[in-house]
């Protein structure tokens, strides 16, 4: 990570971890991550923006920060890029739910030992970690593609993969948390209820599978691999 | 947790240029090869094909020139193996040697071993097999009992290996054996290069459920192995195996094994599939594209000199799940189709259960991931 990007990550974390108001976010300049330096912004690219948007999901911050970044970007296909923003928030929220689940199962004791020591729990959380890694990979690759050229395919795959990961992982998160995760007071529901909502917004699994499937079929088997590796 | 960090990795321009070259070569070399044979992927082997690839300079690509290698980048090697797998090339004869035995010798072997074996591997002349599993040591690999007893000028090796792929064709086995006491569980293990033509080596093929024989029992009865065939230091076997498994688990062969039936499905549904067919194609495409990004990221880690053991476990578990879901989902969705489709599907339905067993079971991989999460 470049020094500048590390600085952005530090600032983002410092501001968003404290349930900020819009004024604090503006003051920190997070909405201007894509705005050129000459115009008082950070002068970053989409990969820089990913750090900020993903952190909104991680910290369950509902401020219109992704929307402000998108507005400043000049991206033409606003609906497509809104799906990319949401996939990034989902990747962040999945990571937060995973961290919470790991922490909880290491503390909670039953049969005289931590839940984390049972293979039945370990194997489920391993799947959760894999799905979270996959969602984060898909999102990172989509944001990188957005800096390059037409990123329709990458963004479509990223939102779909994030939806798939959320479907599998939210179930595991609740299962390993037991009744505690089902309470209004405990933090898990702030993440999982957002993930369920976001799974429907800007394209659920059917929406994106259908479109990707139609495009792949139209191109035919002889182009599948060449297109994927282009 | 660094094991779950997958930074995007873009292939450099020279790797992209190489792709076209490989495609043209394979189009010619594999013309008329039927789909069901392509589906064999790295389970199928041909010495003749391996020699051809060797001549192209596409085996041992990243190794130093002094050992017959080509000093190409990991990214270039990645492109070549991706194209070989997608085309369904018969790479089985040199696959293990190129992927793990060669790199193992390069890293831990003696100078004499490297000079003798690496150039021949790079020419596609040598077939290696992996002597790890035993009747009592599968997932619990450290339980191996095959014993190497010191004698004048070397060792005498006695014991049994099992599930050894390609042993019936192999020139060499790299065998994990016990050189120390059984109480020294890990420290008592070493790796030896066993010449498969040695007296006392008996190979018995085991037919798998398709009726083909890929894996074998290998009986070692007082087999003499010269002193010079010890890899690295005595007692270093466990560490070597750990390094080797990262190579074994991280490649694109862990998510591409079923691509042939996916391509066949695309062929039979044509340009205007039903909605249900589109949904299946879209789901599998997104998973495959994501896995390819992850697999590329692992290449980036290898190129940076890291040991991506945990990342490799993540890719392999997600990848083999995809490889198993594809034939099952395609079967559930497919209408009546032609013989080429049916035979490819039938072959992959039958072989895909092995994908999450070979090279480390799903449960072992998830155990590695759980350890990285701090659960154990």
Does the beta-carbon distance from A217 to B278 stay under 8 Å? yes
**DSSP states of B183-211:** TSTTTTEEEEEEETTSTTEEEEEEE-TTS
Chain A 84-123, CB below 8 Å of chain B: which residues? 102, 105-106, 116-117, 119, 121-123
What is the ipTM score, two decimals? 0.98
Average pLDDT, chain A: 97
pLDDT digits (tens, 9 = 90+) for B300-319: 998 898 889 999 999 999 99
User: B149 at the A interface (CB within 8 A)?
Assistant: no
Of A157 and B249, the structure prediction assigns the larger pLDDT to A157
pLDDT digits (tens, 9 = 90+) for A166-193: 999 999 999 999 999 999 999 999 999 9
Confidence of residue B161 (pLDDT cuts 50, 70, 90): very high
Mean pLDDT of B222-228: 98
Catalytic residue among B134, B248, B323, B372: B248
**Nearest-CA distance B273 → chain A (Å):** 7
How far CA B357 is from CA of A126, B127, B195, in Å, comes to: 17, 22, 27
pLDDT digits (tens, 9 = 90+) for B55-96: 999 999 999 999 999 999 999 999 999 999 999 999 999 999
Are B9 and B299 a contacting pair, CB within 8 Å? yes
B249 pLDDT exceeds 90? no
How far CA B51 is from CA of B48, B64, B130, B257, in Å, comes to: 5, 19, 21, 23
Mutation target among A126, A136, A164 for the B interface, most CBs of B within 10 A: A126
pLDDT (0 to 100) of residue B247: 80
- Work out the burial of residue B371: count CB atoms within 10 Å of its CB; fewer than 13 is exposed, 13-18 middle, 19 or more buried: middle
pLDDT (0 to 100) of residue A118: 98
Tokens of residue B216, six digits: 């074998």
Tokens of residue B248, six digits: 């074994």
User: B76 at the A interface (CB within 8 A)?
Assistant: no
Mean pLDDT of A55-77: 96
Lowest mean pLDDT: which of B148-162, B167-181, B207-221, B302-316?
Answer: B302-316
Say how far apart CA B299 and CA B41 lie, in whole Å: 21
Mean pLDDT of B25-45: 93
pLDDT (0 to 100) of residue B251: 86
- The 3-state DSSP class for residue B273 equals coil
What is the 3-state secondary structure of B304-373? Answer: CCCCCHHHHHHHHHHHHHHHHHHHHHHHHHCCCCCHHHHHHHHHHHHHHHHHHCCCCCHHHHHHHHHHHC
pLDDT (0 to 100) of residue B16: 87
Which domains does chain B possess?
2-126 (1.10.540.10), 130-238 (2.40.110.10), 251-372 (1.20.140.10)
Does the beta-carbon distance from A137 to B318 stay under 8 Å? no
CB-nearest partner of A229 from B19, B273, B280 = B19
**Percent of chain B scoring above 90 in pLDDT:** 91
Q: Which CATH architecture has domain A77-230?
A: Up-down Bundle (1.20)
Residue with tokens 């193996």: B81
pLDDT digits (tens, 9 = 90+) for B97-124: 999 999 999 999 999 999 999 999 999 9
Mean pLDDT of B191-199: 98
pLDDT (0 to 100) of residue B1: 67
Active-site annotation holds for B253: no
Give the number of C-alpha atoms closer than 13 A to the C-alpha of residue B299, restricted to the C-beta side: 26
User: A126 at the B interface (CB within 8 A)?
Assistant: yes
pLDDT (0 to 100) of residue B167: 98
**DSSP states of B131-180:** E--BTTBSSSGGG---EEEEETTEEEEEEEEES-TTTTT-SEEEEEEE-S
pLDDT digits (tens, 9 = 90+) for A124-152: 999 999 999 999 999 999 999 999 878 99
Every domain of chain A and the residues it spans = 1-74, 77-230
**Nearest-CA distance A79 → chain B (Å):** 19
A99 pLDDT exceeds 70? yes
- CA-angle at B224, arms to B222 and B228, nearest 5°: 150
CB contacts of B337 in chain A (<8 Å) are none
Provide the 10 A C-beta neighbour count for residue B309: 18
pLDDT (0 to 100) of residue B185: 84
Return all residues near A67 (Cβ < 8 A) that are at least 6 apart. A82, A85
């Amino acid at each position: 990570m470049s020094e500048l990007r590390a600085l952005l990550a530090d600032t983002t974390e410092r501001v968003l971890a404290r349930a900020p108001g819009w004024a604090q976010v503006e003051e920190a300049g997070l909405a201007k991550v894509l705005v050129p330096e000459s115009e008082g912004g950070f002068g970053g690219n989409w990969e820089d923006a990913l750090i900020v948007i993903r952190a909104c999901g991680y910290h369950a911050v509902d401020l219109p920060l992704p929307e402000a970044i998108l507005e400043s970007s000049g991206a033409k296909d606003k609906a497509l890029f809104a799906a990319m923003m949401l996939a990034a928030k989902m990747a962040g929220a999945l990571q937060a739910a995973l961290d919470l689940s790991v922490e909880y199962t290491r503390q909670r004791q039953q049969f005289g030992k931590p839940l984390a020591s049972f293979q039945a729990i370990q194997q489920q959380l391993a799947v959760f970690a894999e799905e979270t890694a996959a969602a984060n990979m898909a999102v990172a690759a989509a944001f990188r593609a957005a800096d390059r050229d037409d990123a329709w395919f990458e963004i479509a795959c990223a939102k779909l993969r994030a939806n798939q990961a959320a479907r599998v992982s939210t179930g595991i998160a609740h299962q390993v948390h037991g009744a505690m995760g089902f309470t209004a007071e405990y933090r898990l529901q702030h993440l999982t209820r957002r993930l369920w909502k976001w799974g429907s917004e800007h394209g659920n699994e059917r929406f994106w599978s259908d479109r990707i499937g139609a495009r792949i079929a139209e191109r035919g088997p002889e182009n599948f691999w060449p297109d994927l590796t282009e | 947790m660094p094991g779950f960090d997958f930074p995007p990795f873009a292939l450099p321009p020279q790797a992209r240029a190489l792709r076209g070259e490989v495609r043209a070569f394979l189009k010619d070399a594999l013309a008329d090869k039927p789909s069901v044979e392509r589906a064999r992927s790295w389970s199928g082997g041909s010495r003749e094909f391996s020699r051809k690839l060797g001549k192209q300079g596409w085996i041992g690509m990243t190794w130093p020139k002094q050992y017959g290698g080509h000093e190409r980048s990991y990214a270039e090697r990645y492109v070549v193996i991706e194209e070989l797998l997608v085309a369904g090339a018969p790479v089985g004869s040199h696959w293990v040697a190129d992927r793990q035995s060669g790199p193992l010798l390069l890293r831990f072997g003696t100078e004499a071993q490297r000079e003798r074996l690496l150039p021949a591997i790079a020419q596609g002349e040598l077939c290696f097999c992996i002597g790890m599993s035993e009747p009592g040591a599968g997932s619990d690999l450290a339980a191996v009992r095959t014993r190497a007893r010191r004698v004048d000028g070397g060792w005498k090796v006695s014991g049994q290996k099992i599930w050894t792929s390609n042993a019936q064709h192999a020139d060499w086995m790299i065998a994990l054996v016990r050189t120390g006491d059984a109480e020294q569980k890990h420290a008592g293990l070493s790796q030896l290069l066993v010449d498969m033509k040695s007296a006392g080596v008996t190979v018995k093929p085991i037919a798998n459920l398709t009726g083909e024989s890929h894996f074998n029992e290998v009986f070692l009865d007082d087999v003499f192995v010269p002193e010079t065939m010890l890899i690295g230091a005595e007692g270093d076997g466990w560490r070597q195996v750990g390094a080797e498994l990262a190579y074994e688990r991280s490649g694109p062969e862990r998510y591409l094994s079923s691509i042939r039936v996916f391509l066949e499905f695309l062929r039979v549904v044509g340009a205007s599939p039903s909605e249900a067919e589109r949904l299946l194609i879209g789901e599998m495409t997104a998973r495959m594209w994501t896995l390819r990004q992850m697999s590329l990221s692992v290449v980036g880690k290898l190129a940076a000199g890291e040991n991506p053991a945990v990342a490799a476990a993540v890719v392999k578990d997600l990848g083999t799940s995809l490889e198993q879901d594809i034939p099952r989902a395609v079967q559930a969705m497919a209408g009546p189709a032609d013989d080429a489709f049916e035979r490819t599907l039938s072959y992959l339905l039958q072989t895909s259960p092995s994908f999450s067993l070979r090279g480390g079971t799903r449960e072992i991989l998830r155990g590695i991931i759980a350890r990285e999460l701090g659960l154990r």
